[in-house]
C-alpha cells in the first residue's frame, strides 16, 4: 500500500473506532432524546455525566458560547441550551473559556539521565500537569543499552501509575538490524510514531550523521516522524573543555560552552539531511534565534519542518546562570541552554506568526540535591527544568494577555497542533462531539502565582518561582473525570490510558508524489552509445 492509501486507511479505521465509541451513547436510552434532556433519571445515569454551561468554547479555528455535555469519558454534545436531569454535575462556565486540555509534546518522567533519575514520575508529573491544565503528554522512551523493546517494556512499567493519558516517542541511540526491525514493531504494534535522534550528549545519547541518515530513511518508510535534539555534540565537547581550561566550572560555563551557533549548525544539518531523504522533521526544544531561522528558511522553501520551542526558552533568559548562589543557577541548567535576552521574545514572535508550530516543556526535573552532582563541574549538573504544570498558564499570560496571539491560536499551540502532528486529532486537541473529554475551564479574570511551596511536582525548586500572571485554569477534566477543581486535585494512580499514535500523519501527505517528481527530473541514467573505434 502506498503512503496516501495507508494514511487514508488508518484515518478510516480511526473514524470507525471513534464512531463505534460514540454511537452507542448517541443511540442508547442512556443518552436520552434531546427533547427530554441528557442524563435524566431513568436514562441509565452514572456519575460520569457533566454539563459545562455557558462558557466560550474554543477550538483551534472557532470559538462560540455553547454548552458541553460529557458522558463516559467522551464529549457527547456541544451546543447551546442543553437540558439535563438532577443527577448530572453542572459547572457554570459563564465568562470563562472552555478549551481542550493541553497536550505537552515533550516530557521526561522517571527518566534515567546523567547518573540520576528525574524526580517526577508518571504519577507526580501527571498530577502536576493536571493541576496546570494539561491532560495528555508524550514522553520519551529511552532504550535500555540500545534496545528499543527493553526500553519500551521499562516505560510500560513506569507508566503503570499514570493518572492521565500519555503517549510515547522513542529515542534511537545505536544502529543495527535489531534496532531497525524494532522500529517497525514500535510503529506497527506499539503505537509509537516518532523517534528522537540526539545530535548532542557525546558519549551517552549522541549519534553520528551516518546513523541519522539510516534513521531518517527508516522513519520515512514507516511513516514515523524523525525528531532531533539539535546541537553539535562534538563542538559542545570542545566548548566544555575550553571552559574548564579557563577555570569556569560553574553553571555559567554550561551556557558559554554551547552557544547558539552550535544549535543553529545542528538544526541546519538535520534539516538538510531530512530534505535530502525527503522526510518530515521535528526539531525539539528550539531555544535560539539561530535555530528558529533555519526552520523558518526551510519552511519558506516548502520543506516539512516542525519547530517546538519550550516554555522555559520563551519566558526565561540566561542571566540566571550567573547567579552567585550555585543552587539558584544550577536549577536553570538545561540543553540547549536558556539563551540571552532577546531569543525568547523572537521565539514568541515566531510562534505568533506561524514560523514555529507548538509549545512543549521538556519537563525534566531534578531537585536541588540532584543538581549538586555538578557543584564542582557544570558538565555534571543533570540537565533539565520543570514546566509541565506551568506551561498553560505561562503561554496564556505571555502570549494571549499580551495580545500576541488569539485565544484560538492558544488552543492550536497548546493542544490541537500537537494532536495533528502526532495523528490523534480530533480524538484529542478538540472540543467536538466524539472527542475525548479532556477539557479545561480557564478564567481570564483570575490570576496565578507559581511557587515550589504550592506546586505539585516533587521538586523542591521551580524555575518560575514567584511568577504571577493573569488567566487561571480553574477546572481540569481528564477522560471525563473532574480531576482539578477549587484548587484541589482528585487523581487516581492507574487511571491514565496509553494512547497509541498511528503513523503517516498529514506531514506525510504528498511525500511520494514529491519523490516521483524528483526522480523524473533527474534526466538519468543517460543512455550512451558505445563508441565505435
- 307, interface contact from ligand URP, Zn ion, none, CB < 5-8 Å by kind: none
Binding site for Zn ion (CB under 5 A): 229, 362
Distance, CA of 527 to CA of 523 (rounded, Å): 10
E strands, 246-370, are 281-283, 305-307
Binding residues (CB under 6 A) for ligand URP: these are 108, 229, 285, 334-335, 362, 364, 383-384
Q: Closest CB to ligand URP among 383 and 414?
A: 383
Closest approach of Cβ 207 to ligand URP, in Å?
A: 13
Q: 68 or 334, CB closer to ligand URP?
A: 334
Q: Do residues 48 and 72 touch, judged by C-beta distance below 8 A? A: yes
Look at residue 45 and give the partner it binds from ligand URP, Zn ion, none, a contact being a CB closer than 5 to 8 Å depending on partner kind: none
The entry of ligand URP, Zn ion, none that residue 268 binds, CB within 5 to 8 Å by partner kind:
none
Q: How far apart are the C-alpha atoms of 502 and 195, rounded to whole Å? A: 13
Task: Provide, rounded to whole angstroms, the least separation between the CB of residue 194 and ligand URP.
Answer: 13
Decide if 490 contacts 484 (C-beta within 8 A): yes
Q: How far is the CB of 193 from ligand URP (least distance, A)?
A: 18
Closest residue to ligand URP, based on beta-carbon distance: 383
DSSP string, 144-197: BTTBHHHHHHHHHHHGGG-SSEEEEEEE----SHHHHHHHHHHHHTS---EEEE
For the CB of residue 368, give the shortest distance to ligand URP in the complex, in Å.
16
Q: Which is nearer to ligand URP, 108 or 467 (CB)?
A: 108
Q: Give 88 or 364: the residue with its C-beta nearer to Zn ion.
A: 364
Reference 137, options 362, 426, 443; nearest CA is 362
Where residue 175 falls (left for φ over 0; alpha for ψ -120 to 50; beta otherwise) is: beta
Least distance from Zn ion to the Cβ atom of residue 31, Å: 42
Distance from C-alpha of 26 to C-alpha of 12, rounded to nearest angstrom:
20
Q: What does 162 interact with, of Zn ion, ligand URP, none (CB < 5 to 8 A by kind)?
A: none
Picked from ligand URP, Zn ion, none, the partner binding residue 135 (CB below 5 to 8 A depending on kind) is none
Binding partner of residue 384 among ligand URP, Zn ion, none, CB cut-off 5 to 8 Å per kind: ligand URP
Nearer to Zn ion, 220 or 229 (CB): 229
Least distance in angstroms from the C-beta of 385 to ligand URP: 7
By a kind-dependent CB cut-off of 5 to 8 A, residue 126 interacts, out of Zn ion, ligand URP, none, with none
Give min distance, CB of 413 to ligand URP, in A. Answer: 20
473 interacts with, out of ligand URP, Zn ion, none, CB within 5 to 8 A per kind = none
**Closer residue to ligand URP in complex, CB, 194/383:** 383
Q: What angle do CA 153, 158, 164 make, to 5 degrees?
A: 115
Using the minimum distance from each CB to ligand URP, give the nearer residue, 146 or 444. 146
Sequence-distant (≥ 6) Cβ neighbours of residue 438 within 8 angstroms: 100, 101, 135, 136, 165, 428, 477, 478, 479
Kindly state the cell numbers that stand for 489.
486535585
- What lies within 8 Å, CB to CB, of 87 at 6+ separation is 39, 40, 41, 45, 47, 49
Query: Residue 384 Cβ, how far from ligand URP at the closest point, in Å?
Result: 4
Give the strand pairing for 481-485 and 488-489: antiparallel
Which C-beta is closer to Zn ion: that of 49 or that of 196?
Answer: 196
Amino acid at each position: 500500500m502506498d503512503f496516501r492509501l495507508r494514511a487514508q486507511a488508518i484515518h478510516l479505521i480511526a473514524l470507525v473506532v471513534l464512531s463505534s465509541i460514540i454511537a452507542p451513547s448517541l443511540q442508547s436510552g442512556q443518552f436520552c432524546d434531546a427533547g427530554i434532556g441528557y442524563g435524566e433519571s431513568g436514562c441509565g445515569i452514572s456519575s460520569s455525566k457533566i454539563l459545562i454551561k455557558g462558557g466560550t468554547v474554543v477550538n483551534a479555528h472557532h470559538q462560540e458560547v455553547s454548552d458541553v455535555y460529557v458522558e463516559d469519558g467522551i464529549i457527547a454534545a456541544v451546543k447551546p441550551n442543553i437540558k439535563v436531569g438532577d443527577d448530572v454535575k453542572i459547572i457554570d462556565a459563564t465568562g470563562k473559556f472552555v478549551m481542550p486540555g493541553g497536550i505537552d509534546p515533550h516530557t521526561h518522567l522517571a527518566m534515567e539521565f546523567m547518573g540520576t533519575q528525574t524526580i517526577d514520575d508518571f504519577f507526580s508529573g501527571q498530577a502536576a500537569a493536571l493541576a496546570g491544565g494539561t491532560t495528555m503528554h508524550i514522553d520519551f522512551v529511552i532504550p535500555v543499552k540500545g534496545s528499543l523493546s527493553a526500553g519500551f517494556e521499562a516505560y510500560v512499567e513506569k507508566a503503570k501509575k499514570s493518572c492521565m493519558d500519555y503517549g510515547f516517542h522513542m529515542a534511537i541511540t545505536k544502529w543495527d538490524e535489531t534496532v531497525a526491525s524494532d522500529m517497525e514493531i514500535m510503529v506497527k504494534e506499539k503505537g509509537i510514531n516518532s523517534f528522537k535522534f540526539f545530535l548532542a550528549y557525546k558519549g551517552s545519547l549522541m549519534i553520528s550523521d551516518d546513523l541519522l541518515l539510516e534513521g531518517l530513511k527508516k522513519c520515512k518508510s514507516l511513516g514515523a516522524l524523525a525528531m532531533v535534539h539539535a546541537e553539535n555534540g562534538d563542538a559542545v565537547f570542545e566548548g566544555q573543555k575550553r571552559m574548564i581550561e579557563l577555570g569556569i566550572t560553574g553553571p555559567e560555563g554550561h551556557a558559554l560552552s554551547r552557544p547558539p551557533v552550535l544549535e543553529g549548525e545542528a538544526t541546519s544539518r538535520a534539516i538538510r539531511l531530512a530534505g535530502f531523504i525527503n522526510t518530515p522533521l521535528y526539531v525539539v526544544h528550539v531555544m535560539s534565534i539561530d535555530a528558529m531561522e533555519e526552520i523558518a528558511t526551510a519552511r519558506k522553501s516548502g520543506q516539512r519542518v516542525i519547530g517546538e520551542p519550550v516554555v522555559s526558552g520563551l519566558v526565561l533568559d540566561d542571566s540566571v546562570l550567573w547567579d552567585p548562589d550555585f543552587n539558584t543557577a544550577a536549577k536553570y541548567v538545561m540543553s540547549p541552554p536558556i539563551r540571552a535576552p532577546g531569543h525568547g521574545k523572537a521565539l514568541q514572535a515566531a510562534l505568533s506568526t506561524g514560523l514555529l508550530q507548538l509549545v512543549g516543556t521538556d519537563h525534566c526535573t531534578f531537585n536541588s540535591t540532584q543538581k549538586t552532582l555538578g557543584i564542582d563541574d557544570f558538565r555534571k549538573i543533570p540537565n533539565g527544568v520543570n514546566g509541565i504544570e506551568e506551561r498553560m498558564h505561562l503561554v496564556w499570560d505571555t502570549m494571549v494577555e499580551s495580545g500576541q496571539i488569539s485565544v484560538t491560536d492558544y488552543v492550536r499551540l497548546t493542544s490541537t497542533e500537537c494532536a495533528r502532528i502526532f495523528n490523534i486529532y480530533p480524538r484529542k486537541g478538540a472540543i467536538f462531539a466524539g472527542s475525548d473529554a479532556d477539557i479545561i475551564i480557564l478564567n481570564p479574570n483570575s490570576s496565578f502565582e507559581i511557587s515550589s511551596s504550592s506546586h505539585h511536582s516533587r521538586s523542591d525548586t521551580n524555575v518560575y518561582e514567584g511568577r504571577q500572571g493573569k488567566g487561571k485554569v480553574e477546572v481540569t477534566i481528564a477522560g471525563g473525570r473532574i480531576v482539578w477543581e477549587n484548587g484541589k486535585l482528585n487523581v487516581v494512580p492507574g487511571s491514565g490510558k496509553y494512547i497509541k499514535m498511528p503513523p503517516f500523519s498529514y506531514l506525510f501527505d504528498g511525500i511520494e508524489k514529491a519523490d516521483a517528481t524528483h526522480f523524473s527530473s533527474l534526466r538519468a541514467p543517460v543512455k550512451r552509445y558505445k563508441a565505435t573505434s
